[in-house]
Chains A and B, each alone.
Chain A
Amino acid sequence: MSEAKASTSAAGPEVVLGLRSVSKRFGRVVACDDVSLNVRAGEIRGLLGQNGAGKSTLMKIVAGFVRPEAGEIRIRGETLGFGDPVIAAERGIAMVHQHFSLVGPMPVWKNVTLSDRGHKKVDRTGTSRQIREIGQRYGLDVDPDAIVDDLAVGERQRVELLKCLRRQPDILILDEPTSVLTREESTALFGVLRRLARERGQSVVLISHELEEMLEVTDRVTVLRDGRVVSTVESAEASPDSLAQEMLGHDVTVPAEVLGLTLDEPGKAAGVPGSLPARSGVPSGHRAAVLELSDITVASAVGHKLLDGVSLDVGEGEILGVAGVAGNGQEELTGLLSNLIRPDGGEVRVEGRTIQTGRGRQLSRAGVGVIPADRHDSGCVLEMSVAENIALGSLDGMVRWGVVQQQKLHQLTQRLVGDFRIITSSLSAPLRSLSGGNQQRVVLARELARRPCVLVAAEPTQGLDIGARGYIWDRLREAAAGGTGILLLSSDLAEIMALSHRVAVINRGRIVSTMARADVDLAELGRMMGARTHDRR
């Protein structure tokens, strides 16, 4: 690597990493669809896309952790076999994972030497010296003897980076590296990346959904959507607006009411006829709040704030849409309202009454229903029958002397299966045998059957087809019309726009903005979701 190559040089810089028609699907979900990509020597390339756009999967394929169905990877023109991380590493590919590949109870130096293959002797002094040397060269200061579990997230990432740099990779891949970093730490990281690219001619692939940092550090940006490459642009010529538009695209399932509202003409939003279908007689702004969160703070074990002073309120019969890229605190918000997480600070009030959070059943008794984002994980029990799953939500009224009254349960289930048009072979069929859409209807039916005053719906239509999606939307609107206050958490803007009366934007555990649905400017919304700073509070 004697010749440092200018990334924008027109004189055909060498292609270090070339992907040809790479495709990968997980079950019915297409993660990567016929992706082709060239990364040049000394280039910092951004991979931009929403969650689920296939960025991480694509790079895991390159690093050998995921085996694609079709396509070809070439390193400096030579084919790289699929699915072998050891060989990929030998060919000069190093990846800093989103979830770090560090062993917590071990000291830094052991973690660093762990990636040495073969029968190399475990050499404490040598490894420690190397850590200090590389640390000095790149400004990555880490104590080799510190236990990884005791380190802050930013420091752990430095260890991860050190591990990669030590092997002097030709291609360094970073998966959402800044999502855990402070502004200063990110700037320092970008400095390191630039030095790698400019001075050593190494190629860097940076995965992110943050527009501004993409433009700040990369030479070129490739935008992925639904597993496909949408475009590749020179960063110098791109703007956050144009990138946001490409990243979000136009969802084919967006109903007419949303399609009327284009990115180019945000002003039209207010004038779209029927954009707020009649759902509730309560005029907005005068609703009694059924759910109020004030100054909720949730911190991770290492002190990273997952929810940072979140305050919001949902009125009776109102749908408040919380827009945000997944992983910005939505999970914690759902967990909080499902009583799975105890907040470190703040207050939850339901219908004006303060609820003791973290105590089993308190929220549920107060009338808070939850449709969790991962229905298989915490929404339902797949091995149990439709009837049993429904009973899980309202056992109180159905148990006498500690015995479940089968007759009552049967009646309720029959009614709900009819009402919600759940397609199942029988009431005692295991939930596993139902389609995804019908499983979600069961969860929805269970939660709505209890007539909750607040319903938390997290990604309620994720993974469902258009029909099921429309049905669930209708039901949510209906529930709101009946007076239920709905907190809708979704990373799907089309869904947010189709349902919400008001829209809040969540970014890094903070509500950065709340606005009426009519005032939403999609481009601005996309920017706030992807923004790094919190100045807009």
Chain B
Amino acid sequence: MIDNITLIVDSSVRIAATLLFAALGELVAERAGTLNISVEGAMLSSAFAAAYGSHATGSAYYGFLIGVAVGIVVSLVQANLSHRIRINQFVTGLVLNLLAIGVTSFLLAEVKMAPVQFGLVRIPGLASIPIIGDALFEQRAPFFLLYGLVPLVWWVLKRSRWGLELNAVGENPTAADANGIPVDVRRRQAIYFGGLLAGISGAYLSVGLIGAFTPNMTALRGFIAIAAVIFGGWTLSGTVAGTLLFGGAEALRVSLPALGVTITPQVLIALPYLAAIAAIAVLSQRRRQPAALGQTFGRGIS
């Protein structure tokens, strides 16, 4: 029994980690008032780029970096289309997501590759803690970035001037503008940060967690990351909790049959999404979203 629980916790955390990277980036982007749905496309592109990069360079590390770079490139396109020349951000995001599926599937058919996977890193001592030891302290290398990124995002949002300005831009862009804060610049920067983290998420998925690239392998996890942010009421702790919940639901889907529990497969597949809808419906009322979320800003007349 303990073994089973350990297994499920481990698997939950591994899946949650993928979500959490992307969700941290999305949290920052949404706090600035942008609803950046191209996080999905950025993850998928990065996952492919990291896999191919690791094959080409023979190093999981270089592959990872190449993947992250591609994530940033996708966010550059998104940010400049939506918050420089002001094309509708949902349309932009949707197009980028579709483009990512198409391009990665096409390239996958064109190239043969044998991606290199990160090895497992075990923190001595800590990893021996029962139940959570394996989950938190024996993982593929990029996983451990989370231990730095979570406090960093907290600091950015709570303490830094950049974070303060992002919040102002997300809550009341007109007021931010009146205070001399360049609204679109801050929003683009927030999307770049989102792209960096979506890149980490995608690269971790392919060369960390799985060690391969398969068509559409992100399978809408980018949207689940957005759901986690909403679930978490746009707070850091809530977002972490959201990714754990959705990660757990996904882990159950994978492990329940292995544990001999028989549920209709269709229900199992739907489980994480049902959990997302239910959780959001019940819990997202607790805290207001950033007031200007998803709204473009332009100076009005008079």
Binding site for B on A (CB under 8 A): 26, 31, 56-57, 60, 65-66, 85-86, 89, 95, 97, 99-106, 110, 113-117, 119-122
Beyond A85-B180, A101-B178, A119-B161, is A114–B172 a contact (Cβ under 8 Å)? no
Chain B minimum-CB-distance residue to A121 = B161
Complex interface bits, B201-235 against A, C-beta within 8 A gives 1, otherwise 0? 00000000000000000000000000000000000
Beyond A57-B302, A66-B302, A104-B291, is A97–B171 a contact (Cβ under 8 Å)? no
Beyond A26-B302, A106-B167, is A97–B291 a contact (Cβ under 8 Å)? no
Chain B minimum-CB-distance residue to A57 = B302
Chain A minimum-CB-distance residue to B173 = A103
Chain A minimum-CB-distance residue to B175 = A101
Inter-chain contact B161/A102, CB cutoff 8 Å: no
Please give, as numbers and ranges, the residues of chain A lying within 8 Å of B302 by CB-CB distance: 26, 31, 56-57, 60, 66
Inter-chain contact A105/B291, CB cutoff 8 Å: yes
- With both chains docked as a complex, state the minimum distance between the C-beta of A209 and any C-beta of chain B, in angstroms: 15
Binding site for A on B (CB under 8 A): 159-161, 164-165, 167-168, 171-172, 174-181, 288, 291, 299, 301-302
Bound together, the chains give a CA A86 to CA B178 distance in angstroms of 9
- With both chains docked as a complex, state the minimum distance between the C-beta of B31 and any C-beta of chain A, in angstroms: 11
The 10 closest A-B pairs by CB, nearest first: A101-B178, A101-B175, A86-B180, A115-B179, A103-B172, A103-B171, A103-B168, A26-B301, A114-B179, A122-B161
Bound together, the chains give a CA A263 to CA B258 distance in angstroms of 92
Inter-chain contact B168/A106, CB cutoff 8 Å: yes
Bound together, the chains give a CA A217 to CA B181 distance in angstroms of 33
Bound together, the chains give a CA A116 to CA B171 distance in angstroms of 18
Among A56, A103, A117, A119, point to the contact of B176 (Cβ < 8 A). Answer: A103
Bound together, the chains give a CA A101 to CA B180 distance in angstroms of 11
Inter-chain contact A102/B288, CB cutoff 8 Å: no
- With both chains docked as a complex, state the minimum distance between the C-beta of A459 and any C-beta of chain B, in angstroms: 16
Beyond A57-B302, A66-B302, is A114–B164 a contact (Cβ under 8 Å)? yes
Please give, as numbers and ranges, the residues of chain A lying within 8 Å of B181 by CB-CB distance: 114
Please give, as numbers and ranges, the residues of chain A lying within 8 Å of B167 by CB-CB distance: 103, 106
Bound together, the chains give a CA A117 to CA B165 distance in angstroms of 10
Please give, as numbers and ranges, the residues of chain B lying within 8 Å of A104 by CB-CB distance: 171-172, 291
Chain B minimum-CB-distance residue to A119 = B161
Q: List 10 A-B contacts (CB under 8 A).
A: A56-B302, A65-B178, A85-B178, A101-B174, A101-B175, A103-B167, A103-B172, A105-B291, A106-B168, A114-B179
B175, B178, B288 — most chain A CB neighbours (10 Å): B178
Please give, as numbers and ranges, the residues of chain B lying within 8 Å of A101 by CB-CB distance: 172, 174-175, 177-179
- With both chains docked as a complex, state the minimum distance between the C-beta of A105 and any C-beta of chain B, in angstroms: 6
Please give, as numbers and ranges, the residues of chain B lying within 8 Å of A119 by CB-CB distance: 161
Bound together, the chains give a CA A110 to CA B167 distance in angstroms of 10
Inter-chain contact B165/A114, CB cutoff 8 Å: yes
Inter-chain contact A106/B171, CB cutoff 8 Å: yes
Bound together, the chains give a CA A405 to CA B192 distance in angstroms of 53
Inter-chain contact B164/A113, CB cutoff 8 Å: yes
A66, A105, A121 — most chain B CB neighbours (10 Å): A105
- With both chains docked as a complex, state the minimum distance between the C-beta of B299 and any C-beta of chain A, in angstroms: 7
- With both chains docked as a complex, state the minimum distance between the C-beta of A162 and any C-beta of chain B, in angstroms: 13
Provide the main secondary structure of the chain A interface: loop
A31, A60, A89, A114 — most chain B CB neighbours (10 Å): A114
Please name 10 further chain A to chain B contacts, defined as beta carbons within 8 Å, in addition to the given A104-B172, A114-B179, sorted by A numbering.
Answer: A101-B175, A101-B179, A103-B168, A103-B171, A103-B172, A104-B171, A104-B291, A105-B288, A114-B168, A122-B160
Bound together, the chains give a CA A117 to CA B301 distance in angstroms of 25
Please give, as numbers and ranges, the residues of chain B lying within 8 Å of A57 by CB-CB distance: 302
Please give, as numbers and ranges, the residues of chain B lying within 8 Å of A65 by CB-CB distance: 178, 299
Please give, as numbers and ranges, the residues of chain A lying within 8 Å of B180 by CB-CB distance: 85-86, 89, 115, 117
Chain A minimum-CB-distance residue to B159 = A122
- With both chains docked as a complex, state the minimum distance between the C-beta of A96 and any C-beta of chain B, in angstroms: 10
- With both chains docked as a complex, state the minimum distance between the C-beta of A212 and any C-beta of chain B, in angstroms: 26
Inter-chain contact B165/A105, CB cutoff 8 Å: no
Please give, as numbers and ranges, the residues of chain A lying within 8 Å of B171 by CB-CB distance: 103-106
- With both chains docked as a complex, state the minimum distance between the C-beta of B233 and any C-beta of chain A, in angstroms: 12
Please give, as numbers and ranges, the residues of chain A lying within 8 Å of B299 by CB-CB distance: 65
Please give, as numbers and ranges, the residues of chain B lying within 8 Å of A97 by CB-CB distance: 178
Bound together, the chains give a CA A115 to CA B179 distance in angstroms of 5
Chain B minimum-CB-distance residue to A84 = B180
Please give, as numbers and ranges, the residues of chain A lying within 8 Å of B179 by CB-CB distance: 101, 114-115
Bound together, the chains give a CA A119 to CA B181 distance in angstroms of 12
Bound together, the chains give a CA A85 to CA B172 distance in angstroms of 17
Please give, as numbers and ranges, the residues of chain A lying within 8 Å of B178 by CB-CB distance: 65, 85, 95, 97, 101
Bound together, the chains give a CA A119 to CA B161 distance in angstroms of 7
Please give, as numbers and ranges, the residues of chain B lying within 8 Å of A105 by CB-CB distance: 171, 288, 291
Bound together, the chains give a CA A222 to CA B170 distance in angstroms of 38
Please give, as numbers and ranges, the residues of chain B lying within 8 Å of A103 by CB-CB distance: 167-168, 171-172, 175-176
- With both chains docked as a complex, state the minimum distance between the C-beta of B174 and any C-beta of chain A, in angstroms: 7
Among B159, B164, B172, point to the contact of A102 (Cβ < 8 A). Answer: B172
Please give, as numbers and ranges, the residues of chain A lying within 8 Å of B176 by CB-CB distance: 103, 114
Please give, as numbers and ranges, the residues of chain B lying within 8 Å of A110 by CB-CB distance: 164
- With both chains docked as a complex, state the minimum distance between the C-beta of B40 and any C-beta of chain A, in angstroms: 29
Bound together, the chains give a CA A117 to CA B164 distance in angstroms of 12
- With both chains docked as a complex, state the minimum distance between the C-beta of B236 and any C-beta of chain A, in angstroms: 16
- With both chains docked as a complex, state the minimum distance between the C-beta of B75 and any C-beta of chain A, in angstroms: 23
- With both chains docked as a complex, state the minimum distance between the C-beta of A80 and any C-beta of chain B, in angstroms: 15
Bound together, the chains give a CA A26 to CA B165 distance in angstroms of 30
Please give, as numbers and ranges, the residues of chain A lying within 8 Å of B168 by CB-CB distance: 103, 106, 114
Please give, as numbers and ranges, the residues of chain B lying within 8 Å of A115 by CB-CB distance: 179-180
Bound together, the chains give a CA A335 to CA B160 distance in angstroms of 43
Bound together, the chains give a CA A103 to CA B172 distance in angstroms of 6
Bound together, the chains give a CA A120 to CA B181 distance in angstroms of 13
- With both chains docked as a complex, state the minimum distance between the C-beta of B267 and any C-beta of chain A, in angstroms: 39
Please give, as numbers and ranges, the residues of chain B lying within 8 Å of A85 by CB-CB distance: 177-178, 180
Please give, as numbers and ranges, the residues of chain A lying within 8 Å of B160 by CB-CB distance: 122
Please give, as numbers and ranges, the residues of chain A lying within 8 Å of B177 by CB-CB distance: 85, 101
Chain B minimum-CB-distance residue to A113 = B164
A26, A89, A101 — most chain B CB neighbours (10 Å): A101
- With both chains docked as a complex, state the minimum distance between the C-beta of A164 and any C-beta of chain B, in angstroms: 11
Bound together, the chains give a CA A95 to CA B168 distance in angstroms of 19
Please give, as numbers and ranges, the residues of chain B lying within 8 Å of A60 by CB-CB distance: 302
Please give, as numbers and ranges, the residues of chain A lying within 8 Å of B175 by CB-CB distance: 100-103
- With both chains docked as a complex, state the minimum distance between the C-beta of B30 and any C-beta of chain A, in angstroms: 14
- With both chains docked as a complex, state the minimum distance between the C-beta of A166 and any C-beta of chain B, in angstroms: 12
Bound together, the chains give a CA A60 to CA B299 distance in angstroms of 12
- With both chains docked as a complex, state the minimum distance between the C-beta of A120 and any C-beta of chain B, in angstroms: 6
Bound together, the chains give a CA A493 to CA B167 distance in angstroms of 45
Chain A minimum-CB-distance residue to B161 = A122
Chain B minimum-CB-distance residue to A124 = B159
- With both chains docked as a complex, state the minimum distance between the C-beta of B159 and any C-beta of chain A, in angstroms: 6
Bound together, the chains give a CA A66 to CA B159 distance in angstroms of 33
Chain B minimum-CB-distance residue to A86 = B180
A56, A60, A101, A103 — most chain B CB neighbours (10 Å): A103
Please give, as numbers and ranges, the residues of chain B lying within 8 Å of A113 by CB-CB distance: 164
B164, B165, B176, B291 — most chain A CB neighbours (10 Å): B164
- With both chains docked as a complex, state the minimum distance between the C-beta of A173 and any C-beta of chain B, in angstroms: 12
- With both chains docked as a complex, state the minimum distance between the C-beta of B166 and any C-beta of chain A, in angstroms: 11
Bound together, the chains give a CA A104 to CA B291 distance in angstroms of 10
Bound together, the chains give a CA A49 to CA B161 distance in angstroms of 40
